Amino acid sequence: MSSEELHIPSFPPLRSVGFIQRLVGYEGQLQVALDHPLLDPDSFPLFIWILQYGKPVPFQVTNHQVHTENEHRIYLEDVDSEESAQVFKNSSVLVEVEQFPLYFESLASYNYLIGYQVIDAIHGILGHVLDVVINENGHDNLIVEHKEIEIIIPFVDAIIQAIEEDNEKILVKLPDGLLDLYLE
């Protein structure tokens, strides 16, 4: 089971695909920001799960419209007003694991970098990668533990000098002042 999958007994295995970004209009329409592109932009799962109070709740999608490549507007059954839609804002959207490959593209995973040692050209050993945050709307980020502080390093060519898979090391050249932001 990947780190993106969630399995709670009595629920089918679920996988996060995004979150409810905002409400649109007064008729219960929700804008979903997707973490994974759809295989077919005109096709959206008929059923989704939304995390409410830490538990997934299933909903039928009655209508779907493409807003942008990663933002889609949906209507849910029995959600037909601004008031009934308000509770979903910022909630995670999940689909059943078996449905995921029918609708969504799998993105390349950087999970293999977790645990790699990060070495800066100026500061030397910074620490180990705790996580890699995938950002569809910008650059990805490495989360590195440095002196018991989590620092964020943009995963861009200008900073990442080399990835040594044999040695499990990432060589970086941090921009001036980046590390100081976290140490002050």
How do the domains of the chain map onto residue ranges? 5-103, 111-183
Share of the chain above pLDDT 90, in %: 48
Provide φ and ψ at 128, rounded to 5°.
-115, 150
Which superfamily, per CATH, for 5-103? RimM (2.40.30.60)
Nearest 10 degrees: CA dihedral of 13, 16, 22, 24?
-60
Range 111-183 has CATH code 3.30.70.20: no
Q: How far is CA 96 from the centre of its chain?
A: 16
Q: How far apart are CA 16 and CA 56, in angstroms?
A: 11
Q: How far apart are CA 118 and CA 89, in angstroms?
A: 37
* pLDDT value for 134: 75
Q: How many residues does the chain have?
A: 184
Evaluate if residue 1 carries a pLDDT over 60. Answer: no
pLDDT interval class at 25 (50, 70, 90) = confident
The answer to whether 43 and 105 have CB atoms below 8 angstroms apart is no
